[in-house]
Amino acid sequence: MKKTFGFRYTNEDRHLFKLVSIGHEITCDANYHWDGMKRDGTGFIFQFTMKGAGMLRIGEELMEIGKHQALWVQIPSNHAYWYPPKNAEPWEFIWIRFEGIRGEGLRKELFGEHNNLIALPPEAPPVNLLWKLYEDVSQKQVGDRFDLSLRIYEWVLALQRFLQSKEAVSQHEIPAAYRKVATHIDHHYASDLSLDRLAEVAGLNKYYLCKRFPLYYHVSTMDYLRNRRIEKAAELLQNPHLSVKEIASRCGYHEVGYFGKVFHKMMGMSPSSYRENASKHEDYLRLLE
């Protein structure tokens, strides 16, 4: 089953989002395959899976696109996605392809450099808005190019808001391996935690850990560690009996000078200045990306 709607624009409105196509499909066709370097045109594709699974290649990395996950790719780029012939269950998904007014900047703003796979519950606002746009298009209930641009912009903002919210992925939706890494960091932030060590904790390849951890925590593994260390440092700085050097050591920093640089970068002031103004700070600090 396939139902697709395509659009063509007769002018060059560079300040608008342009809807290239939108559709809903159920496929078990072994010939379903898209190569990001061989497709015509430019733009972005967001494809959300309701049932079944597909495969996604980004560069040389392969990953499965499972239920309630969405792929996000730019055209042209070195990627491909397809339906694996060995799969017994059909792959059902809804997608949108559009051209953005900010191009590469839009992709980086939403997902950073590496995240091309996103976990989304089916009731998430971006998914609901995508279905609503698809239904309105299929029933010819959309207006002119300005209306379509506004609808896409609303969807982009909803997706961005969802991804930046703490509720984007609940703890029970995060695979155990990644929860184990986060918990280990929470309890052992003062230890010498390398990527190799954290990958060992997770039981994963470290490169796979680096790619997948941000999908669930919206920050890299090592930035998550840095945030927990700085949070603890801010708490300890409220104790006047501890030296900055001792606090740095307790938070996993062996060089007090480096600790000072990291703290200043995150907090906008030196550890000493933060301590001097301790009464103005909250008792508990949580750093959010």
Model confidence pLDDT, tens digit, residues 54-67: 999 998 888 899 99
Mean pLDDT of 120-139: 92
Mean pLDDT of 43-56: 95
At 172 the pLDDT is: 47
Q: Are 253 and 262 in contact (CB under 8 A)?
A: yes
Residue 257: how many CB atoms within 10 A of its CB?
Answer: 8
Mean pLDDT of 258-274: 91
CATH code assigned to 2-168: 2.60.120.280
Written in H, E and C, the secondary structure of 70-90 is EEEEEECCCEEEECCCCCCCC
2-168 with 176-280: one CATH topology? no
pLDDT band at residue 129 using 50, 70 and 90 as cut-offs: very high
Q: Which of 91-105, 120-134, 189-203 is least confident?
A: 91-105
Residue 283 has pLDDT above 60, yes or no: no
Mean pLDDT of 132-136: 94
Tell whether omega for the bond before 214 is within 30 degrees of 0, i.e. cis: no
Q: Which residue has the higher pLDDT, 141 or 82?
A: 82
Residue 110 has pLDDT above 70, yes or no: no
Mean pLDDT of 94-113: 71
Residue 84 has pLDDT above 90, yes or no: yes
Residue 171 has pLDDT above 50, yes or no: no
Domain boundaries, the chain: 2-168, 176-280
> CA 30, CA 54: separation in Å to the nearest integer?
11
Of all residues in the chain, the percent with pLDDT exceeding 90 is 53
Mean pLDDT of 19-33: 94
Given CATH 1.10.10.60, say whether it is the number of domain 176-280. yes
pLDDT band at residue 288 using 50, 70 and 90 as cut-offs: very low
